[in-house]
Amino acid sequence: MKTNALSHLASLNWEAFFGHRTVRNGECIEFTGAKDPKGYGRVGHNKKVYLAHRVSYQIVNGDIAPGMFVCHRCDNPSCINPEHLFAGTLRDNTDDMLAKGRSQKGRGETHSQVKLSAEQVKAIRLDTRIHREIAEEYGVATSYITNIKSLRCWTDIDSPVVRMGYAKGERNPTAKLTREQAELIRADNRTFTDIGKEYGVSRVTVSNIKKGKVWRQ
């Protein structure tokens, strides 16, 4: 993104621009629109495509200086919560990556900054509590728990979730719904928000069920 390409966004309302394309995940505000393979949101504006978290930062904080990166304090690529974003140099971004265990030079328990053991990771993947409660018990960020459960990290750890190969539906030990509940949601004519509140899932999950993106079986 060019430094001044979206200068006028600073005058826009963040909620109006992003509100209908976000979902809360603990303290993170995740972008639910298009994403790249690494999980970073992509947003279109004036026939151009930009990184959603950079746009979010710029709306709230103004122009991004040349050569500066927009980094995530929460280590959640999909998050666009302005409070979780900060501008930094390439060195700042690299130091942040190393501190959070994303360096290719060390993985799992071999990384110098690791806070969990392999056995704890296995337990987390099978834990059915909400991510925030699990994070509080293990002393890590909620987004880290999300990444562990979605197999974005610790992918080399053998556990039931990994062995089943992204287990779907009721086979997934972390599933919040049963097949019967998914069928009821698909037939429910209420708003996605109302359905989500009843079943304890997000409106995005409800939408994905109705569209056949999940629980297709």
| CB-CB neighbours of 142 under 10 Å | 20
Q: How far apart are CA 47 and CA 41, in angstroms?
A: 16
Distance (Å, rounded) from C-alpha 85 to C-alpha 70? Answer: 6
State which amino acid sits at residue 197. K
- CA distances to 14, 77, 122, 198, 209 from 41, in Å: 15, 8, 29, 28, 21
Rounded Cα gap, residues 18 and 80, in angstroms: 9
* 3-class secondary-structure state, position 45: strand
State the Cα–Cα distance between residues 13 and 60, nearest whole angstrom. 9
* Nearby residues of 111 by Cβ (< 8 Å), 6 or more positions away: 101, 103
Are the C-beta atoms of 24 and 81 separated by less than 8 Å?
no
34-62 tens-digit pLDDT: 888 888 999 887 777 889 999 999 988 88
- Residue 201 has what pLDDT? 81
| Two structure tokens written together for 1 | 């993104």
pLDDT of residue 79: 93
164 secondary structure, DSSP code: T
Please tell me the predicted confidence (pLDDT) of residue 105: 44
Give the other-Cβ count within 10 Å of 128's Cβ: 9
- Which regions in the chain score pLDDT beneath 50? 1-4, 103-113, 165-167, 170-171, 173
Give pLDDT tens digits for 152-179.
777 767 665 555 544 455 445 456 677 7
Strands 22-25 and 85-88: what pairing? unpaired
Q: Where are the domains of the chain?
A: 1-100, 108-173, 176-210
In this prediction, residue 52 carries a pLDDT of: 92
Q: Give the per-residue pLDDT at 29.
A: 92
Class of domain 1-100: alpha beta
pLDDT of residue 14: 87
